[in-house]
Chain A
Amino acid sequence: MNLPLLSFLTWLPILGGIAVMLVGDRRASAARWLALGVAIAAFLACIPLYSGFDVTSAALQFPERMAWIPSLHSDYHLGVDGISLPLILLTTFSTVLVIIAGWTVIEKRPSQYYAAFLIMEGLMIGVFSAADALLFYVFWEAMLIPMFLIIGVWGGARRIYATIKFFLYTFLGSVFMLAALIYMYLKSGSYDLAALYALPLSSAEQTAIFLAFFAAFAVKVPMVPVHTWLPDAHVEAPTGGSVILAAIMLKMGGYGFLRFSLPITPDAAHDLDMLVIGLSLGAVVYIGLIALVQTDMKKLIAYSSIAHMGFVTLGAFIGYEIVSATGSHDGVVLGLSGAMVQMISHGLVSGALFLCVGVLYDRLHTRDIGAYGGVINTMPVFGAFMVLFAMANSGLPGTSGFVGEFMVVLAAFKANFWYAFLAATTLILGAAYTLWLVKRVIFGAVANEGVASLKDLNGREFLVLGVLAVAVLAMGLYPKPLTDVMEPSLRHLAQLMSVSKL
């Protein structure tokens, strides 16, 4: 039996999104239920994907392949491995939550709102399952359109500035990637990822290709100094947009590094690893300090996202420094799994925090920290959730936020004491900006009439935050199922990283 499960996962939400749009705003309730049904169906379709996945193999599984653009030798080629599977699960999981979270909040063109998220979901799954570089690129760029609209249509006051900044920033980066892919196609005659992995490239070629990829992925992650689109985009995006942006879209960058940069240009990645490591550590410290002084809740969480994503890029590239420091490959996979775990965890935790801000924003229509204070007096249940997610964001053991950071710090130590030292400052900085936020917003006496009038979570909000809380704790207490899925693929990746292509 070989059902086209990945095609189903990719196209069901896209077609479902079109159907939701056709139902229209006049029948908003029907559109909502249809959207929810599609999102849940996609999530349920992940069950056979997970249960049928062979955790002992690094090979691409559930493969589908047919000719797509024969003149360019590009195939419609899909497949998942241990790197993409968790990200696909995260995508379908987050989409369901986002649809529920927007249930009564979105009044402007609701059917189009849900359609945008569903189409977005399909495209993101396409990105994670594409095994052909051109197909990947098409999904990658197409993904920008729904997000451009989500921010531009349902966003806040400065949404036009934010969405154009977002689009241009990320589009500019991606163009370089396209150039690199075309160059490699001309050399190898194929867009197939396996062929690109096997393609020998000179040092100069690798460096140019690496930098082209770097432009695309670093913007997406985002890495310092190409991160400034993110705070603007988050601040202006509607809650659901922020959640998807933080939970999935940022992961595209990390995924790109693991899927393209490291295996295709291993020697250049080795030569230029200090660039990535330096910028990652910079993100932890520089961005951590910036997050400390933010007065807008969403901006604070956006900066916190950048700092946390620093661990992803650090974990991905630390392997080269480990090998040169110790002469052994022990720790390379540890760093890679740390990076992966951090991506998944960040998806849950930052998504949850943006939802928390959304809960407050829906009630008082401000994101200004100064407008709150003593929220726990009127919203005790919400306060408990917020404290839990804040602790997860501070990397508390027992929550998912700890696992990835712990692994990356352990790996970084193998390379150099000071890398681990700088990375571990997140323990202090992360706790400082997160708990200071909690202190000012959640704790204290009731600050004003607005806070006094707050109503605690309704059933829908409780459901969404409750599910995330369970996920955050489950992953913190028992991460083994997740790391087991990734392990063989990451071992394979570590091997590709270490074989020179010169």
Chain B
Amino acid sequence: MMQNVYLAIPLAPLIAAILAGLFGRVIGRTGAHTVTILGVAVAFGLSVWTLLGQLEPGAVPYNASVYTWLVTDGLRMEVGFLIDHLTALMMCVVTFVSLMVHIYTIGYMHDDPGYQRFFSYISLFTFAMLMLVMSNNFLQLFFGWEAVGVVSYLLIGFWFTRPTAIFANMKAFLVNRVGDFGFLLGIAAIAHYTGSLDYATVFRAAPSIAQHTMSLFEGQPWNAMTVVCICLFIGAMGKSAQVPLHVWLPDSMEGPTPISALIHAATMVTAGIFMVARMSPLFELSDAALGFVMVIGATTALFMGFLGIVNNDIKRVVAYSTLSQLGYMTVALGASAYAAGIFHLMTHAFFKALLFLGAGSVIIAMHHEQDMRRMGGLRKYLPITYWTSLLGALALIGFPGFSGFFSKDALIESVALSHAPGAGYALFCVTAGVFITALYTFRMIFMTFHGEERMDAHTREHLHESPWVVTVPLILLAIPSVVIGWFTVGPVLFGGYFDGAIVVNPAHDVLREIGREYEGQGGFILNAFRSLPVYLALAGVASAWLLYLKFPHVPASIRAKLGPVYRVLDNKYWFDWFNENVLAAGARGLGRIFWRVGDEMIIDGALVNGSARSVGWLAAVTRHMQSGYLYHYAFAMIIGLAAMLAWLLTHAA
């Protein structure tokens, strides 16, 4: 019974995706969105039911296999589900955001000829994401991991006639593959040390992995667990877009906005965060890996935030904000505050999906104009979009009481208490990041919704609020963006919600330390006023107000004064340049050399055709000996006879 319910959760969107994808022409546009929305709604309903079931006192995690994929050499690979508090939470977040995005898509993709295909893809994505989070083993995790990547590839390149879109989707897939390369090695290491791919078995065997060492380079032994965790985390760096594998995420904005909200903000990009939290029994055994995680996360959090300040494309600003927030979550993982990371993942899923969908609503109203320099004053034309986006923005900057406040504040406090390697650097990054976050977020709000109306007259005439299929999801997302933190902070962070699902070494358990002083949400908010981040956020908003509303000519002069800094940011630290001109071009150059020199000149030219030629040459030479003239043969016989005689004479003596 339970198994059938759990099976129905991913299969409902899968069946809907198949129906909309293969029979899209038969069932039509209405049929396609009806069937996919129904599929996701079923998945959402059952996910909520699952979560409620897990919350009942005495409920135990469900862990069972569905079928055996293959067995060989004693290694059993299965497909199966592990349903515990962590999974149930993720399932609800994924299916809720997905449902909202499905409804929103009816409005956003209204005029698109690929309507059915789009619904099919997003439903397929929901299936893949559910398989990922519900998995009880590494094989299925990897399946979901790559499957979400493929759907992301298909969706970024949804408008496949655009050169930028089909470049961006290939880039996204390949950069993710670099991550998956590490991930696969991590899985291989786990299979090697534990002889299993099943989570429960692997986690039980975890301490024994930590006792092994590997010598990757001559004479430098590495703790096997560190290798395992860093390999797995490289996978997370790809999927969750951590520096230096972040380069695909801003380009992924080439896809339609609903998928930016669903895939590139709320769900897929958080798969890495989820995975590390899921693997907490492993990561807890390697301080080196935790330090690595923390430093990478902190770097992403701060340095990607800077890029949000200089960008003028409304979606890309939100994209850089996503990168930065993913960095925050990663830092939490590094500080062993997994629950804080997942908590921020959840609140972020709501408010970032909201901000993306809000940006999408603006883009519809502006007739697919994304440059904020041609917006301004949209507040009065798009009141619902404005108010919901403002709520999302307040949640993002961590305004006291909003959902993002609880998650971010807990996160920063965790870092402050952490003793992991790199904690000091990370604390600086996440604290400074608060100011940066507030600055770029409100720069966006002010440039878009406030101030002078900079669009052309034609656009202005046609400005109007989006239809209800767009605004209802905005409102439904705005509600959790505001209140979900207030209602869940206590139990999720300090109430032992994740006990059993997430394992924390008591020596690392910073959240428990914070929890000791936790006395309800009110106290938590008051407490925050005694520390820096809240003031930094307010300062960020104030700076944005000064720079972009009060004195809008100032940014230009700052840019001129800080030329070199601006150039660094404008070129996004030259990551793209390096990848395209050094890595990609280098691989192609090497390929060309191997082909032209190795294959064509040496193997084919010299050896294969060379041996054919030398046979021909030898034949030509020997042909001359068979001249057919009797005197040539007679002469050769005499020479031969003379030589034989000479040999006999010298040797006989």
Contact = CB atoms under 8 A, between A and B. Distances in A.
A439 interface: yes
Most buried by A among B71, B181, B188, B588: B188
Contacts of B173: 431, 435
Given A428-B174, A431-B174, A445-B161, A479 B195 contact: no
Majority-rule SS of B interface residues: helix
Nearest to A494: B73
Contacts of A330: 73-74, 195
A428 B592 contact: no
A424 B185 contact: yes
A181 B329 CA distance: 64
Given A428-B181, A480-B70, A293 B150 contact: no
Contacts of B48: none
Interface residues of A, number: 64
A337 B150 CA distance: 27
Nearest to B166: A443
A413 B591 contact: no
A334 B73 contact: yes
B158 to A, nearest CB: 11
Interface residues of B, number: 56
A418 B153 CA distance: 29
A410 interface: yes
A291 interface: yes
A425 B590 CA distance: 15
Contacts of A431: 173-174, 177
B146 A397 contact: yes
Interface string B565-602: 00000000000000000000001101110110011000
Contact of A289 (B177, B184, B187, B587): B587
Contact of B143 (A397, A428, A445): A397
B647 interface: no
A377 B160 CA distance: 9
Given A435-B173, A436-B170, A444-B161, A293 B181 contact: no
Interface in A450-502: 477-480, 482-484, 487, 490
Given A333-B72, A397-B146, A376 B160 contact: yes
Interface string A29-52: 000000000000000000000000
Given A333-B73, A428-B178, A413 B189 contact: yes
A315 to B, nearest CB: 11
Given A410-B192, A417-B216, A435-B173, A331 B73 contact: yes
Nearest to A391: B150
A55 interface: no
Contacts of B146: 396-398
A165 B608 contact: yes
B68 A480 contact: yes
B69 interface: yes
Most buried by B among A169, A377, A407, A443: A443
A414 interface: yes
Interface in B151-179: 153-154, 157, 160-161, 163, 166-167, 170, 173-174, 177-178
Interface in B206-227: 214, 216, 227
A456 B75 CA distance: 44
Interface string A83-114: 00000000000000000000000000000000
A218 interface: no
A410 B150 CA distance: 23
Interface in B25-82: 67-75
Contacts of A216: none
B409 interface: no
A445 B163 CA distance: 8
B143 A409 contact: no
A294 B596 CA distance: 11
A292 interface: yes
A331 B74 CA distance: 9
B603 interface: yes
B452 interface: no
Nearest to B21: A384
Contact of A225 (B177, B227, B595, B603): B603
B71 A483 contact: yes
Given A409-B188, A431-B173, A443-B166, A292 B587 contact: yes
Interface string A4-21: 000000000000000000
A228 interface: yes
Contacts of B180: 427
Most buried by B among A330, A410, A421, A487: A410
A290 interface: yes
Interface string A394-406: 1011100001001
A410 B191 CA distance: 7
A432 interface: yes
6 contacts: A286-B598, A398-B146, A406-B184, A407-B72, A420-B185, A421-B185
Nearest 5 Cβ contacts at the A-B interface: A413-B188, A289-B591, A333-B73, A397-B143, A334-B73
